[in-house]
């Protein structure tokens, strides 16, 4: 008569050992923070209204380009919700100060003839109370020594001011290249604005 196969009992983990394993697994996530990381000064701001940025430059249609880039970046980030002025907790006001172009690379035959330019879009922004118009970002919410970091030109910008940048190649179709460069610089500027508002850097 053949012996019937007997199933062996599965050993259960000791509660202390199970707790130890869980703590080891979860310790790998110690550097991450759940939830919002926006500054405490903006803790009560959930909804933003973003009117068209003011354009102090001579570039046509630049205000709409930059404003759309900022709204898109805010929606992608998700820290704030875009709404109307009536429902907003704060209004994001922005001004495109200037467009600067500096030589980044010259042609091989002529040093003074540029082949590639560094295009910089300087923008200032602030948050206003939608009911009173009072500036709610008079004081840097991240500390007096906060900077957005050095950019490609070696300059530093303070909170509320950013420099969106990109490279511009001088080719036969310069007008198309210029529009593409402005679009990329606007996107870079928008990402910096959202980073300062949502993450503090």
Segment 25-76, tens digit of pLDDT: 444 444 344 445 677 778 899 999 999 999 999 999 999 999 999 999 999 9
CB neighbours (10 Å) of residue 162? 25
**pLDDT tens across 175-190, in order?**
778 889 999 999 999 9
CATH number 1.20.1050.10 given to 39-198: no
- pTM as predicted: 0.70
CB neighbours (10 Å) of residue 38? 17
**Cα separation values, 172 from 50, 145, 165, 175, 181, Å:** 37, 45, 22, 9, 15
């Amino acid at each position: 008569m053949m012996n019937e196969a007997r199933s062996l009992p599965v050993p259960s983990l000791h509660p202390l050992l199970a707790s130890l394993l869980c703590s080891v697994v979860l310790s790998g996530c110690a550097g991450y923070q759940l939830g919002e990381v926006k500054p405490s000064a903006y803790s009560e701001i959930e909804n933003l209204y973003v009117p068209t940025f003011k354009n102090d430059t001579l570039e046509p249609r630049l205000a709409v380009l930059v404003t759309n880039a900022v709204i898109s970046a805010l929606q992608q980030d998700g820290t704030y919700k875009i709404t109307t002025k009536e429902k907003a907790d704060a209004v994001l006001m922005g001004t495109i100060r200037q467009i600067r172009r500096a030589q980044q690379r010259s042609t091989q035959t002529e040093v003074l003839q540029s082949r590639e330019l560094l295009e910089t879009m300087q923008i200032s922004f602030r948050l206003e109370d939608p009911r009173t118009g009072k500036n709610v970002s008079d004081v840097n919410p991240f500390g007096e020594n906060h900077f957005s970091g050095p950019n490609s030109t070696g300059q530093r910008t303070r909170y509320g001011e950013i420099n969106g940048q990109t490279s511009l190649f001088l080719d036969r179709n310069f007008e198309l290249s210029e529009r593409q460069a402005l679009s990329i610089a606007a996107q870079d500027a928008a990402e910096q604005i959202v980073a300062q508002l949502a993450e503090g850097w």
